[in-house]
Amino acid sequence: GESVGLHLPTLSVQEGDNSIINCAYSNSASDYFIWYKQESGKGPQFIIDIRSNMDKRQGQRVTVLLNKTVKHLSLQIAATQPGDSAVYFCAENRNQAGTALIFGKGTTLSVSS
């Protein structure tokens, strides 16, 4: 079954608001996490990553928070823009040799003007 999942399948926000997308994972051995953005008809695009020895990492307008105690990951998007509308996936690397990233189901972010 799914071990990486997101709390909400959809999120609707107004342009300019901050967005928070959540993800729960179940494998305590996972040591590397990535957020991907997928626009309609396109492949997933890397947004930001974080290793398990960190609890926060910031990029341009995005911040990823990692809470290993409760196995929770979040993506915060500041000043959300219409171009941010997409499906967002979290993915984990289970720190096992030869394994690939495991993806959750995704959250669809809709930004209205």
Partner 1 sequence: NAGVMQNPRHLVRRRGQEARLRCSPMKGHSHVYWYRQLPEEGLKFMVYLQKENIIDESGMPKERFSAEFPKEGPSILRIQQVVRGDSAAYFCASSPLEFEGEAFFGQGTRLTVV
Residues near partner 1 (CB under 8 A) are 2, 32, 34, 36, 42-46, 49, 89, 93, 97-106
Are 57 and 64 in contact by the 8 Å Cβ rule? The answer is: yes
Smallest distance, Å, CB 113 to partner 1? 25
What are 107's strand-pairing partners? 88
Query: Which candidate, 43, 34, 41, 11, places its Cα nearest to that of 89?
Result: 34
Are 27 and 91 in contact by the 8 Å Cβ rule? The answer is: no
The two structure tokens encoding residue 55: 């609890």
Cβ proximity to partner 1, 5 vs 111, nearer residue: 5
Cβ proximity to partner 1, 3 vs 63, nearer residue: 3
The rounded distance, in Å, linking the Cα atoms of 111 and 80 is 7
Smallest distance, Å, CB 2 to partner 1? 8
Cβ proximity to partner 1, 18 vs 95, nearer residue: 95
Smallest distance, Å, CB 49 to partner 1? 6
Cβ proximity to partner 1, 78 vs 103, nearer residue: 103
- Indicate the DSSP class of residue 96: -
Smallest distance, Å, CB 34 to partner 1? 6
